Amino acid sequence: MALELTIETDREQDGRWIAEIVELPGVLAYGDSEADAVERVKAIALVEVGDRLQHGDPIPGGAGLTGVSFRAA
């Protein structure tokens, strides 16, 4: 089963972009462009999922993880 994570993006008043992973509260990243913020948050999400797996903490979608994919909100 692949873990599908949803990325929401928004532009801040100062012009920076923010990208957040809906299923992983607190996983967010800023970037100068929307694409930059999305790439950064994907990397952070992969680290977070890896840490959770390593420590036996729950991940969205439960056990049996075979991959991770991202989709725009």
| pLDDT exceeds cutoff 90 at 16 | yes
Whose CA is closest to 19, among 3, 46, 28?
28
pLDDT for 73 equals 75
| Sign of the four-CA dihedral 30, 72, 23, 52 | negative
| pLDDT exceeds cutoff 90 at 45 | yes
Position 64 confidence tier, pLDDT thresholds 50, 70, 90:
low
Question: So where are the chain's domains?
Answer: 2-72
The CATH number corresponding to 2-72 among 3.30.230.10, 3.40.50.20, 3.30.160.250, 3.40.640.10 equals 3.30.160.250
DSSP string for 11-43: E-TTS-EEEEETTSTT-EEEESSHHHHHHHHHH
